[in-house]
Structure 1
Amino acid sequence: MSATLHQTAPILKVQGLAKRFPMPRERLFGPRPMLTAVADVSFDLAAGETLAVVGESGCGKSTVGNLVLNLLKPSAGVIAFEGEDLSRANAARWRARRQDLQLVFQDSRGALDPRLTIDRQVAEGLEIHRMGAPSERLERARHMLGAVGLGGNLMGRYPHELSGGQQQRAVIARALVLEPKLMVCDEPVAALDVSVQAQVVNLLQDLQSAYGLTYLFISHDLSVVRHVADRVAVMYLGRFVEVASRDALFSKPAHPYSRALIGAVPAARSRHGRRVQPVALHGEPPSPLFPPQGCALNPRCPFATDLCRQERPDLRPLPGGGFVACHHAENLT
């Protein structure tokens, strides 16, 4: 089932997305183990919306972003952008579509070329996609740098001459200059100081309003997610276990894993100021090479029953809205 709360045609529609990685054989002629990083993920994303994907490290959230952008080839599933199936598109078709789908990296320093000034790097994308006249590209790049707060002499500097926040603004400008419709933001503020995080988050929201952007926002920081997201998808061991509006998730999470994540964050309170009742999970997440039978959370979940240990729950709609993959969501206390 596609996890969406919107009735209008989505700009991005993902169905049954999966990614499996072959691992080294344990024996010379033995079977090759397969690591399932993403399993049967489906969602819709409306134009102008921000969908945040959250979860522990290694849950597969960054892999989802890489699959949407064709940085990884899916093992199964459909990725439709503006009604066009891009999951089977060839390199030429992806090149034509590339400017519409852009990525904001977590490691801004690693994403920037140390040999080029910032304005040259932003203009480089225009040259690759042959956007605008050659004489106009550098001026257009500088205009975009000014829009993200890197005007004046900053635009002519090299990456090592900029702070971490300034480098991230340059990465955002480089993506935005191509006039994309969808931006995948992969932990865009995780490497920044808290005060700088707020500035970059506010910048992303201002740019979304000004340019009509759609965001797939990947993060482990629930305080940031609560500030930017319209909807939130909670991911565990390669699958979405809950998808809900931001307010519904933070005020009354339905899945035990969602409750554990939100309850562990001091700032994650409901709109009425009441803390979400935390859930104590036991142990560490299991290996995606050897997932448990039934619900993947059952070895850690205090509410697990025999049904949870035998049958994996599907993502299903809740009466009050949203989607959850839990046999007992309506009866949890």
Structure 2
Amino acid sequence: MNRREIIWQLSHHGYPKEKLESMPMTDLAKLFKQTSKERIMDYMNALRADKEHEIIPEDEGNYIDREMELVYHAISIEEVNFPILYDAIERIFEKYDLNEAIELVLSQASDKQYKQMTQITEVAYRAYQEILLDRIEKLCEFYPAEERFEQLKFYGDRREDINFLRESIANMSAPNNQERLSKIALLKYDIICDYFPDSMYENYEEFYENEEKKNDIIERIMSLTKAYTRAALKAKKFQVLSHMERVLVEDRDREKEEKALIKQYTKKLGDVILSEDELAFSMTLKEALSVLDERDVARIISNFDISSNPILLQRFNVIMRDNRRTN
């Protein structure tokens, strides 16, 4: 902004034009910045009053003065002190939104710095949004995963409203509130999980369709079976994938259990066949049929030669025939 524009601006805010004309450029620039700062502060106060926010504490003026001084010192030197600048801007965001913060920072900047300072403030704003969302995530750390996802999405969708995020953090951080809200989230989840399990997907669809969650379950399914390609699995909804995984896990566990039982009854039947105890053979055979498929039992017996013992062979045929009738 050149000398003429500064004089024109200041003259519209009550300063005598004649006096302004006689002032050196350095004094004009200083007066312009001071006036701009006062106008911005008046605007901020009016906004806060209009939004029915809490009355600004008396020391808030000192707070913003301190941050403005830090901004000024950070950008007035030949090489901008970015760490100090970013810290000061972040603290400004604790009280003001993006547009307000830009105005405050620009009030300390030279004309040639306007574009750079605007960009820096916008970048700092995005980082500050993430800081607020990280705080919220921390406050939700004891929520069930599904509820936490829903909450973070809710607040993430409102990232542009940092006043809302700040107020939410203050509310969630109030004494006992974090514990109380965590219990509410857990209670809601438990009710759905225990009493309406078929509604889990409907209530938490976005959580279950989340790419990371979906990829995790696809990896688990592919470790259980080679029957599906990754592309085929990705095309399925999480609810279907979850059912597939459950069935595959049940099959795996059943197969593992059957292998253990086959090993167990191979030894038991082998022992009674070797002892030629017909009664023990009959009891063990029936016991095996109660926990194993008939084909598995027949396969076990085929490992032993019972044809040389007609009584055992007859008992085997009778018991197997009776088992088929009852099943």
| TM-score (normalised: structure 2) | 0.22
- More strand, by proportion: 1
| TM-score (normalised: structure 1) | 0.21
- More helix, by proportion: 2
Bigger radius of gyration, 1 or 2? 2
RCO higher in 1 or 2 (8 Å CA, sep ≥ 6)?
1
